[in-house]
Protein backbone atom coordinates (compact mmCIF):
# COMPACT_ATOMS: atom_id res chain seq x y z
CA UNK A 1 0.00 0.00 0.00
CA UNK A 2 1.33 3.38 -0.95
CA UNK A 3 0.30 6.46 0.96
CA UNK A 4 1.85 9.88 0.41
CA UNK A 5 1.14 12.11 3.37
CA UNK A 6 3.54 15.00 2.93
CA UNK A 7 5.17 16.88 0.08
CA UNK A 8 7.09 20.09 0.61
CA UNK A 9 8.59 22.14 -2.23
CA UNK A 10 11.36 24.68 -1.63
CA UNK A 11 13.26 26.65 -4.29
CA UNK A 12 17.01 26.67 -3.72
CA UNK A 13 20.00 27.86 -5.72
CA UNK A 14 23.21 26.28 -4.52
CA UNK A 15 26.71 27.69 -4.92
CA UNK A 16 30.00 25.85 -4.81
CA UNK A 17 30.91 24.57 -1.36
CA UNK A 18 27.51 25.33 0.19
CA UNK A 19 26.37 22.37 2.28
CA UNK A 20 22.70 21.50 2.55
CA UNK A 21 20.89 20.19 5.63
CA UNK A 22 17.30 19.08 5.01
CA UNK A 23 14.78 17.53 7.41
CA UNK A 24 13.06 14.57 5.74
CA UNK A 25 10.56 12.97 8.09
CA UNK A 26 12.47 11.76 11.17
CA UNK A 27 15.87 12.17 9.43
CA UNK A 28 18.27 15.04 8.83
CA UNK A 29 20.13 14.64 5.54
CA UNK A 30 23.19 16.79 4.93
CA UNK A 31 25.39 16.87 1.83
CA UNK A 32 27.48 19.14 -0.39
CA UNK A 33 27.29 18.81 -4.18
CA UNK A 34 30.41 20.99 -4.42
CA UNK A 35 29.06 22.51 -7.64
CA UNK A 36 27.00 25.47 -8.73
CA UNK A 37 23.68 23.99 -9.75
CA UNK A 38 20.10 25.18 -9.48
CA UNK A 39 17.51 22.78 -8.17
CA UNK A 40 14.28 22.50 -6.25
CA UNK A 41 14.10 20.37 -3.13
CA UNK A 42 11.03 18.24 -2.57
CA UNK A 43 10.47 15.98 0.41
CA UNK A 44 8.13 13.01 0.11
CA UNK A 45 6.74 10.71 2.72
CA UNK A 46 6.00 8.88 4.64
CA UNK A 47 5.06 6.34 1.96
CA UNK A 48 4.20 2.79 3.02
CA UNK A 49 5.15 -0.38 1.12
CA UNK A 50 5.60 -4.11 1.54
CA UNK A 51 8.32 -6.33 0.07
CA UNK A 52 7.38 -9.40 -1.97
CA UNK A 53 8.31 -11.39 1.15
CA UNK A 54 5.68 -9.48 3.15
CA UNK A 55 7.98 -7.17 5.15
CA UNK A 56 6.42 -3.75 5.66
CA UNK A 57 8.53 -0.63 5.35
CA UNK A 58 8.18 3.14 5.24
CA UNK A 59 10.07 5.49 2.94
CA UNK A 60 11.04 9.14 3.27
CA UNK A 61 12.56 10.74 0.17
CA UNK A 62 14.50 13.88 -0.62
CA UNK A 63 14.27 14.85 -4.31
CA UNK A 64 16.65 17.29 -6.01
CA UNK A 65 14.93 18.42 -9.21
CA UNK A 66 17.26 20.20 -11.61
CA UNK A 67 16.60 21.43 -15.11
CA UNK A 68 18.46 18.55 -16.76
CA UNK A 69 18.87 16.02 -13.95
CA UNK A 70 17.38 14.53 -10.81
CA UNK A 71 18.58 12.97 -7.58
CA UNK A 72 16.53 10.89 -5.14
CA UNK A 73 17.82 10.19 -1.63
CA UNK A 74 15.51 7.70 0.04
CA UNK A 75 15.57 6.29 3.57
CA UNK A 76 13.73 2.97 3.92
CA UNK A 77 12.87 1.74 7.45
CA UNK A 78 11.84 -1.92 7.62
CA UNK A 79 9.55 -3.12 10.41
CA UNK A 80 12.13 -5.68 11.54
CA UNK A 81 15.73 -6.56 10.63
CA UNK A 82 16.28 -8.06 7.18
CA UNK A 83 19.29 -9.60 5.45
CA UNK A 84 21.73 -6.83 4.58
CA UNK A 85 24.69 -8.76 3.17
CA UNK A 86 27.01 -7.40 0.50
CA UNK A 87 25.80 -9.73 -2.26
CA UNK A 88 22.11 -8.84 -1.79
CA UNK A 89 22.84 -5.12 -1.60
CA UNK A 90 24.96 -5.14 -4.77
CA UNK A 91 22.29 -7.20 -6.53
CA UNK A 92 19.61 -4.64 -5.57
CA UNK A 93 21.72 -1.76 -6.93
CA UNK A 94 22.36 -3.52 -10.25
CA UNK A 95 18.75 -4.72 -10.57
CA UNK A 96 17.44 -1.18 -10.10
CA UNK A 97 19.49 0.07 -13.06
CA UNK A 98 18.39 -2.91 -15.17
CA UNK A 99 14.72 -2.17 -14.39
CA UNK A 100 15.06 1.39 -15.69
CA UNK A 101 16.74 0.23 -18.89
CA UNK A 102 20.41 0.98 -18.23
CA UNK A 103 23.18 -0.71 -20.19
CA UNK A 104 26.88 -1.34 -19.39
CA UNK A 105 26.17 -1.73 -15.66
CA UNK A 106 29.16 -1.92 -13.34
CA UNK A 107 29.25 -2.03 -9.54
CA UNK A 108 31.79 -1.50 -6.81
CA UNK A 109 32.04 -1.02 -3.06
CA UNK A 110 32.93 2.31 -1.49
CA UNK A 111 32.49 4.05 1.83
CA UNK A 112 29.38 6.24 2.09
CA UNK A 113 28.57 8.18 5.27
CA UNK A 114 31.39 6.29 7.06
CA UNK A 115 29.71 2.96 6.30
CA UNK A 116 30.16 0.18 3.78
CA UNK A 117 28.35 1.24 0.63
CA UNK A 118 27.75 -0.11 -2.85
CA UNK A 119 27.46 1.77 -6.11
CA UNK A 120 26.14 0.65 -9.50
CA UNK A 121 26.59 2.77 -12.61
CA UNK A 122 25.17 2.41 -16.09
CA UNK A 123 24.18 4.27 -19.21
CA UNK A 124 20.51 5.22 -19.28
CA UNK A 125 18.20 5.48 -22.31
CA UNK A 126 19.26 9.11 -22.81
CA UNK A 127 22.90 7.96 -23.11
CA UNK A 128 23.90 9.66 -19.85
CA UNK A 129 25.41 8.17 -16.71
CA UNK A 130 23.02 6.84 -14.07
CA UNK A 131 24.15 6.03 -10.52
CA UNK A 132 22.38 3.99 -7.85
CA UNK A 133 24.13 3.78 -4.48
CA UNK A 134 23.04 1.95 -1.34
CA UNK A 135 24.24 1.76 2.22
CA UNK A 136 22.76 0.49 5.48
CA UNK A 137 22.59 3.00 8.35
CA UNK A 138 22.33 0.35 11.09
CA UNK A 139 23.93 -2.79 9.66
CA UNK A 140 24.93 -5.31 12.34
CA UNK A 141 27.38 -8.17 11.76
CA UNK A 142 26.43 -11.64 13.01
CA UNK A 143 29.26 -13.54 11.31
CA UNK A 144 31.93 -12.44 8.84
CA UNK A 145 29.37 -12.55 6.00
CA UNK A 146 25.99 -12.32 7.72
CA UNK A 147 24.49 -8.88 8.23
CA UNK A 148 21.06 -7.64 9.35
CA UNK A 149 19.63 -4.10 9.27
CA UNK A 150 16.44 -2.05 9.26
CA UNK A 151 17.53 1.30 7.74
CA UNK A 152 18.60 1.52 4.09
CA UNK A 153 19.66 4.71 2.31
CA UNK A 154 19.51 4.75 -1.49
CA UNK A 155 20.78 7.46 -3.80
CA UNK A 156 19.68 7.54 -7.43
CA UNK A 157 21.08 10.24 -9.68
CA UNK A 158 21.95 11.24 -13.21
CA UNK A 159 24.10 14.18 -12.13
CA UNK A 160 27.59 14.43 -13.68
CA UNK A 161 29.91 11.84 -12.09
CA UNK A 162 32.08 14.40 -10.23
CA UNK A 163 28.98 15.91 -8.59
CA UNK A 164 27.65 12.45 -7.63
CA UNK A 165 31.06 11.61 -6.11
CA UNK A 166 30.90 14.80 -4.03
CA UNK A 167 27.42 13.83 -2.88
CA UNK A 168 28.58 10.32 -1.92
CA UNK A 169 31.64 11.77 -0.16
CA UNK A 170 29.64 14.22 1.95
CA UNK A 171 26.19 12.71 2.59
CA UNK A 172 25.33 12.21 6.24
CA UNK A 173 22.01 10.93 7.59
CA UNK A 174 20.97 11.09 11.23
CA UNK A 175 17.71 10.15 12.87
CA UNK A 176 16.21 13.09 14.75
- pLDDT tens per residue across span 42-65: 999 999 999 999 999 999 999 999
HEC sequence for the chain:
CCCCCCEEEEEEEECCCCCEEEEECCEEEEECCCCCEEEEEEEEEEEEEECCCCCEEEEEEEEEEECCCEEEEEEEEEEEEEECCHHHHHHHHHHHHHHCCCEEEEEEEEEECCEEEEEEEEECCCCCEEEEEEEECCCEECCCCCEEEEEEEEEEECCCHHHHHHHHHHCEEEEC
Confidence band, pLDDT 50/70/90 cuts, at residue 141: confident
Residue 1 above 50 pLDDT? no
For the entire predicted model, the pTM comes to 0.88
Amino acid sequence: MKLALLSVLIMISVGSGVPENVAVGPYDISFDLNATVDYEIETLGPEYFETKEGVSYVEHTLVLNGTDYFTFITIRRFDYPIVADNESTIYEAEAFLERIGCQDIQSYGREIDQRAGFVATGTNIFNTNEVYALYWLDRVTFTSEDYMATLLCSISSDLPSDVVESLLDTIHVVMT
